[in-house]
Amino acid sequence: MLDIVKIRADFPILNTEAYPGVPLVYLDNAASSQKPLPVIQAMSEYYQNYHANVHRGIHRLSEEATNRYEVAREKVARFINAPDASQIIWVRNATEGFNLVAYSWGRANIQTGDEILLTEMEHHANLVPWQMLAEEKGAVLRFIPFMEDGTLDLSDLDSLLNEKTRLFSFTAMSNVFGTITPVKELVKAGHAVGAVVMVDAAQSVPHLLVDVQDLNCDFLAFSGHKMCGPTGIGVLYGKRELLEAMPPFMGGGDMIRRVHLTHSTWNEIPWKFEAGTPSIAEAIGLGTAVDYLTSIGMENIHAHEQFITNYALEALSEVPGVSLYGPPAAQKGGVAAFTLKGVHPHDIAELVDKDGIAIRAGHHCAMPLHKKLGVSATARASFYLHTTTEEIDKLVESLHRVRSVFRL
C-alpha cells in the first residue's frame, strides 16, 4: 500500500482550507488532478533560471530549454512505451489530439459512406470532432451501446465492425462510469476489419499502466492536467507510418523545413504538428509529473484506487436514496457517479462544498450517456493516489446533512 501521509505532503493544496476552519477534501480528480510540489518547482525553475524559446536560439538559455523540453517528450514516450519519442506529439489537451486526428488523418482518409465506430459513453471530445467530420464527408457514425451496469455491450461487435469501418475510436476508461474497457481486444477487432483505431486514454494513463505497443493502437490521446501535470499540455501518440503520411494540422513556425513565397515543405515528426511557440514550461512540468508517478509506481496507484473505490461504493450505497452508476470497483477506475433521490446533483455539489468537499456535478461532457440513463446530471466523486478513507467518510457524512437540509 502507498504511504499516503508522505504522498499528501507532496501536494501543498491538500493541506489548505476550503473555507476558514474547513479543511479541503478534494474529490474531483477525474476533472483535473492537483499538482505535487516537484511539478510546481520544475515549472518555476524554468521561468526563473532558463526561460527562452525552444529550437530557435543558439544561446545557452534556449539550448537548455530545448533540452529539457525534448527530455520531457522522451519521458512521456517511456511512460507509455512508445517506440520512439518522435511519435509523441505535444497538444494542448486530449481534445486537441482528437481534433488533430480528425482534421489531418480524417479529412485525408474518410470518404462518403465510410463508417466511424464509437461507443455510447464517450466524452464529447471523442464524439463531436467525429460528428463534424462525418457531416463534412458524408460518413456514418455507429455506436457500441452500454448496458445497465455501465459496461459495453459487445454482443453485436462483429456487425458494428465491418468492411465500411474506417475508424474505431473509444475510451479506455469512462469518465462517468469509470468502466475500464477491454482496449486490447477492441483494437484487435478493429484491425481485423482494416480500421484505424484511436484510444481516449485521458482517464486511464493517469491511473493505469498503459503500453501502446502492447495495445497496438494506432492513435492514443491524453491530457497532462489529469495526471499531476499542468493544464495546457497533452499528448497525441501515433504510429509512425500514419503520422508521416498525415498533412500538418496548423501552419506556421517550427513545423516547416523550407519556406518559399508560394510553397513550403514540412518538418519531420513530431515538429510537423507543433506550429508556433509551444507550451514549454507545461511540457517540462508534465515530464516531472511522469517522474513523480513512475517513482510511486502505476501498479501501486491502481491498487490503492481500487481499494478506495470499493470503500467509497460500499459507503455511498448505505446512504438512503443514493443510486450508483457503473460497474463494481474491480471493473472500474477511481470514480463514483451517483444521484440522490429528491436532490439535484448541482445542489448536492453546492452543499457538500460548504463542508469543504469538492466533487463534480453535471453531465461531465457526456450528455448522450446521461440521456440514456434518463437523468439530466449526476454527482461524481473521483479519487487518486492521495485519497483517504477519511475523506470518503466526510463525503458520506456531508450527504446525510444534504438529506436533512431537504428533509428527506
Sequence-distant (6+) residues with CB within 8 A of 39 are 228, 229, 230, 285, 288, 289, 292
**Cell numbers standing for residue 110:** 474518410
114 three-class SS: coil
Cβ neighbour number for residue 252 with a 10 Å cutoff: 11
Alpha helices in 80-182 (DSSP H): 94-101, 107-109, 128-137, 157-160
Known catalytic residue at 228: no
If residue 45 lies in a helix (H) or strand (E), which one and from where to where?
helix 37-49
**Cell numbers standing for residue 29:** 480528480
Alpha helices in 50-115 (DSSP H): 60-79, 94-101, 107-109
If residue 240 lies in a helix (H) or strand (E), which one and from where to where?
helix 240-245
One of 85, 140, 365, 367 is an active-site residue; which one? 365
3-state secondary structure 152-177: ECCCCHHHHCCCCEEEEEEECECCCC
Class of residue 185 by CB neighbours under 10 A (exposed 0-12, middle 13-18, buried 19+): exposed
Beta bridge partners of 360: 380
198 three-class SS: strand
Which residue in this structure is represented by grid cell 518547482?
Answer: 41
Q: Which of 375, 335, 246, 346 is nearest to 29 (CA)?
A: 335
CA distance 124 to 364: 9
Sequence-distant (6+) residues with CB within 8 A of 405 are 351
Which residue in this structure is represented by grid cell 501518440?
Answer: 237
If residue 17 lies in a helix (H) or strand (E), which one and from where to where?
strand 17-19
C-alpha to C-alpha distances, 108 to 14, 30, 91, 111, 224, nearest whole angstrom = 47, 33, 20, 8, 28
Q: Which of 184, 189, 172 is nearest to 217 (CA)?
A: 184
- Which residues are the active-site residues? 365
